[in-house]
Structure 1
Amino acid sequence: MSIQIFRIFILVIMRILSTVVIRDVGEHHYDASGRLLDRYDFIIVGAGSAGGVLASRLSEIEGWRVLLLESGGAPPRESNVPALALGLQQGEADWKYFTAPQRYAQMAFPNNVSPYPRGRGVGGSSTLNLMIYVRGNRRDFDHWEALGNPGWSYDTVLKYFKKAEDYRGTRNRATASYHGKGGPLVVDDKRWSAPLLRGFLNAGQELGYNIIDANGPEQIGFSVADMNIIDGIRASSAISYIKPAAGRPNLDVAFNAHVSQIIFNKEKRAIGVQFEQRGKLHTVYVKREVILSAGSVNSPQILMLSGVGPSHHLREHQIPVVVDLPGVGQNFHDHPILFTLSWLTNQRVSTSIPTVMSASAIKEFAHNKQGPLACPFAIEGNAWSLSEEGDPHWPQLQYVFLSSNMAMNYGFVLSDIIGYKPEFFKKYFGSVRARYGFVIAPILTRPKSKGSITLTSRDPKTSPRIDPNYLSHPDDIKTFIRGIRFALKIGNTTALREDFGARFHDKVLPGCEGKLYDSDDYWECYVRHVSSTVYHPAGSCKMAPSSDTMGVVDHKLRVRGTEGLRVVDASIMPLVTSGNTNAPVIMIGERAADIIKNDWGAPTTHL
């Protein structure tokens, strides 16, 4: 059975299950496309994590009419089943993007190109992600403010993390003051764990690290992953923010509305947007503001299509220049990850497709929303190690612990989604296919390599050029090598080696045969071949003071040189946070909503 046929088989089963078991959750019948007004107070472009927050919060003001435009449709029903998260990539809710060929990385990928999943549809990437809730490090936000962005310190943004949160977990009672209750976004304990999780946590303690609340006062340590899952169902922004607000008479949500450009008047004020829907071009005007929340790939693309960006690049595509803003699309960066560091075990303790798709697992999910289907596939925990440069408590590395080795299911899940060359995967992992094991995956949390988003065409439906420029900075290689050596220490602890018989898959990586095994040169070759995205793009519309010539938005997220236009999503991050990005993007949406309300004289919570 081919990988694609296998995936289709699994998706059909899960669609049937989700239709029968969670029918009410899967309904998103609030498309208002047939009754749109000619003019709104606010137009929000993109119904992802930030856009959903903005639509909900701005429509709290009864006198404001709000339009939320989404290029995709309703979330697929199976997106509600947490275990199917990886299977959604390259499907109907994904933009199906690819990176540009990488010069310094991705050598184990066809033409040095890898898939670059981005959510398309109501909920955005929160319908595709692995639902891990990580806010980042307090120093991330203090650094944003120190760069000249007042109002973005940790003490300020913590209020918005708590405002968004409805914490239902039981593990972190000692850090309850860092958590919120009653917010739209449910954060809960994992509902099922493989036995290997115990070994991972014990390994951390054996190495001298504490078991921590990753969203508490400090981040260094080992933790069980907190999840955006509500009663066993994915808590996307579609479920948490958009659907509850969609019944308000002052909020309209339009599905399958692909924005082609922002319309400006002669004073460079945003006065509306054009979008294509079902083959027809529409124009809607705005009284107050247009807000771009299309994400780190599409927000800079839409700005450039609208004439806001580097003037030389716009002229290359015959786009009239409204504002020469050289920083648009620059400063683009991402968290690279190594999914390939695999260990074998002598026990049947891993997560596998047969485990997740067993009759007992389906029954447990159907009746109780418990069991392996109620958790993202194989995701167990995280760790952050002490930094060897600068502040030791501002980590350069995160480690994801997966209770499945890369080849355990014959590559049906991980290898196909990541996109390695089939011949490379077979050569490296062929001897351990279907074997039980686990992965410890290092992530660069503060990468120094920067890339860009640029246009390939003035056609709004043509994908932009996505170039993360992975590993172009030599320090990223050095940090990754430190991460590999720490991951090897974790895997070699007695907690994993003796209790589970863990043995590292130490086959020489194809393409690195000429390097001395376990030398820095060997691991550099390894990293340049197999590192890939962990789906956390950021920075392409950087928030910065006016003294920074590459800034795009100010600390109130207003686009330079324009009026009535803001960007609110991960693209405004000066530097990506030290962890998974969905939680901070929701925080950005919450804070931006208060900033906007305050600017227009409406009541706010924390300003």
Structure 2
Amino acid sequence: MFIMYFLSNFVSNLTSDMTGLISVVTAYVRTAAIFFLGTYSYENSDLPIEELYDFVVVGSGSAGSAVAARLCEVRGWSVLLLESGGTTPPEAMVPGYNPFVILHGVQPMWGYKSEPQKHACKNYAGHQIPIPRGRTVGGSSAVNFLMHVRGNRRDFDRWAALGNPGWDYDSVLPYFKKLETYRGEVTNLTAPYHGYSGPVVVEGKAWGTDVMKAFLKAGKELGFPTIDPNAFTQIGVRRCHMAHVTKVLFNHDKRAVGVHYMKNGRQHLARVRREVVLSAGAIGSPHLLLLSGVGDKKHLRQFRIPVVAHVPGVGQNLQDHPGIFGLTWTVDPGRATTFGRHLSMAAATKFAYHRQGPLTSPFGPEGNAWFSFGYKNDPEWPDAQLVIVSITPALDSGLLISDTLGYDKEFSRRYFGPLAGQEGINMGPYVTVPRSRGSITLRSADPKHHPVIDPNYLSHPEDVEILVKGIKLALAVGNTTAFKQGLGAKFHDMVLPGCEAEAYGSDHYWACFARHMVSTVYHPVGTCKMAPASDPMGVVDHALRVRGVSGLRVADASIMPVIVAGNTNAAAIMIGEKAADIIKQDWLITIPLL
């Protein structure tokens, strides 16, 4: 435990040696996590070659893990779950450490980057942003910030109204309840909306800084209620709830009969008796379909890929919540999150022996709030989500966070330099149901090459309007007594580089701010759109069967026709749970009533 002692004294005096810092932090979090949890491995180096399975599930993320686990419940069925990454790193198993997996870029990440953005991301290097996605057992759920938000009931009712029977809120609610063991606060009104015996434990944020308390007080000060966003209303304020497959194989009848995958540098074949299920996520699933000959025929022929089925919607309809990280306030010392507090001997001891303290919660996130600005004809359907984190991009004096977010180095030095090393907060609005649409397309026919990822952020002007209103709301929260007097919060009101021509504080200025500072909030969905046959851009039907072929389904966030108004992890698990029941029913397995 010497390294813990060393770090507890070192982190308060960050150096400019980024390589050394990364090495030290990496060694620390990994050593500490192994001390807490021990070592373990999910890998099976003796996996047989050309074995026949009933089902092959591609991807062990939030949805794929649920699909595979539930299919394994049927006696006599054999299920192969293929994951491109390896064992989840030990540091990802400690809530307070898992953001460091993203920060120091270890193996469990895919390393995706967007294409240069025409309408947004202007203060990011090359107008591009990193798009972190998990490449490990658990997928992105192994490295995310543990926020459990289902979305709004109207999101799912809209899915059904678009021609997808069985996906309305009343139909999916039993699956949300089935997947969770809820240990948070309940009332007579909220208790019926939760489950109490599922595989996913959901509980209130175990530990928080003074920022979280001030955020809840600020909500009350502005007249917003404290809510349970996974119950009957979503408008208000809440603390946070926290093997590489290369091709699908088809026979002459266009039925999926197996997959090729790479393991230890060698190509293998896994064949199926029944079905292949793609759960590789909103980037991986359409990429794999395209590589396998399912997609727009013109696009496939461009890369000399034989066309199995002309499905032009594959890779289209990409949606993500565009959000802002960089709207910052400084606070009095001791009020917000610090590296010293998370990487200290005291924190390590509390977690190791009592499962208490700052390491029980992710690094930074404190609370969420949802607001309606009247863009929908329903005041209970939010237009924006406000996320508060108790760090700023300059907390580490520009050593790790800025590069991880993808900021242009000169911009980061100029704008965030005055905040270097200071405690502070970031309140970032994001658009809950954006109008902008992007795409996933092929870069080459080589499965080792990442696809072309173009989120096309802020291509629709309404998204900019909502972000402007969200920024102004964040400023109102920061101006409350709870923040100004309770935290000593002071807004970083330096004019944003690139927006000098606009009148500071005007709507035009904040629109410029949004276009320069918007980025991903890690919620890509929609690229294998679920839709009826009448929609030419649909990819799967309401039973998640891929068009133009048989024996192949997609079950992950890519099937969402429209993104949900909240963090997407819970909805992805629900999709996996429901997909497993759909598959069982299609194979005449009796499903217990939920």
TM-score (norm. length: structure 1)? 0.93
Check if 1:306 corresponds to 2:269: no
What CA distance in whole angstroms lies between the structure 2 residues aligned with 1:353 and 1:179? Answer: 35
Q: 1:388 aligns with which of 368, 374, 379?
A: 374
Residues 63-86 of structure 1, C-alpha deviation per residue, up to 9 Å, x if partnerless?
111111111111111110111222
Q: What is the CA RMSD across the aligned residues, in angstroms?
A: 1.4
Aligned to 2:133: 118
> C-alpha displacement at 1:8, in angstroms?
2.6
Check if 1:583 corresponds to 2:573: no
**Structure 2: gaps of 5 or more residues:** 1-15
Q: 2:173 aligns with which of 158, 179, 183?
A: 158
Aligned 8 A contact 1:7 1:87 in 2: no
What CA distance in whole angstroms lies between the structure 1 residues aligned with 2:17 and 2:325? Answer: 22
Check if 1:289 corresponds to 2:261: no
> C-alpha displacement at 1:404, in angstroms?
1.8
Q: State the SS of the aligned residue for 1:60.
A: coil
Q: State how 1:88-237 maps to structure 2 within 5 Å.
A: 88-89=101-102, 90-170=105-185, 174-227=189-242
Check if 1:10 corresponds to 2:20: no
- Bigger drift between 513-522 and 83-92 goes to 83-92
Aligned to 1:22: 37
What CA distance in whole angstroms lies between the structure 1 residues aligned with 2:236 and 2:406? Answer: 31
Aligned to 2:6: none
Aligned to 1:63: 76
What CA distance in whole angstroms lies between the structure 1 residues aligned with 2:375 and 2:19? Answer: 44
What CA distance in whole angstroms lies between the structure 2 residues aligned with 1:143 and 1:315? Answer: 35
Q: State the SS of the aligned residue for 2:527.
A: coil
Aligned to 1:331: 317
Aligned 8 A contact 1:46 1:294 in 2: yes
Report percent identity of matched pairs: 50
Evaluate the alpha carbon distance shift between residue 311 and residue 605 of structure 1 in structure 2; reply closer, same or farther with a 3 A threshold.
same
> C-alpha displacement at 1:173, in angstroms?
6.8
Aligned 8 A contact 2:49 2:269 in 1: no
What CA distance in whole angstroms lies between the structure 1 residues aligned with 2:593 and 2:172? Answer: 10
Check if 1:533 corresponds to 2:548: no
Evaluate the alpha carbon distance shift between residue 149 and residue 606 of structure 1 in structure 2; reply closer, same or farther with a 3 A threshold.
farther
What CA distance in whole angstroms lies between the structure 2 residues aligned with 1:3 and 1:400? Answer: 28
> C-alpha displacement at 1:416, in angstroms?
2.6
> C-alpha displacement at 1:497, in angstroms?
1.3
> C-alpha displacement at 1:392, in angstroms?
1.7
Q: State the SS of the aligned residue for 1:425.
A: helix
Aligned to 2:12: none
**Structure 1: gaps of 5 or more residues:** 228-256
Aligned 8 A contact 1:87 1:413 in 2: no
What CA distance in whole angstroms lies between the structure 2 residues aligned with 1:426 and 1:197? Answer: 28
Count of matched residue pairs = 576
What CA distance in whole angstroms lies between the structure 2 residues aligned with 1:523 and 1:128? Answer: 31
Q: 2:584 aligns with which of 564, 575, 597?
A: 597
Aligned to 1:249: none
Q: State how 1:441-520 maps to structure 2 within 5 Å.
A: 441-520=428-507
Aligned to 1:41: 54
Aligned to 1:376: 362
Q: State the SS of the aligned residue for 1:104.
A: coil
Q: Specify the code of the residue in structure 2 equivalent to 1:265.
A: N
Aligned to 2:258: 272
- Bigger drift between 491-500 and 59-68 goes to 491-500
Check if 1:543 corresponds to 2:530: yes
What CA distance in whole angstroms lies between the structure 1 residues aligned with 2:229 and 2:187? Answer: 9
> C-alpha displacement at 1:502, in angstroms?
1.5
> C-alpha displacement at 1:155, in angstroms?
0.8
Deviation >6 Å, runs of 4+: none
Q: 1:84 aligns with which of 97, 112, 120?
A: 97
Q: 1:260 aligns with which of 246, 257, 270?
A: 246
What CA distance in whole angstroms lies between the structure 2 residues aligned with 1:16 and 1:577? Answer: 38
What CA distance in whole angstroms lies between the structure 2 residues aligned with 1:5 and 1:570? Answer: 38
Aligned 8 A contact 1:3 1:416 in 2: no
What CA distance in whole angstroms lies between the structure 1 residues aligned with 2:30 and 2:210? Answer: 28
Check if 1:522 corresponds to 2:509: yes
What CA distance in whole angstroms lies between the structure 2 residues aligned with 1:490 and 1:144? Answer: 33
Aligned 8 A contact 2:61 2:279 in 1: yes
Q: Specify the code of the residue in structure 1 equivalent to 2:109.
A: D
Aligned 8 A contact 1:297 1:540 in 2: yes
Aligned 8 A contact 2:43 2:86 in 1: no
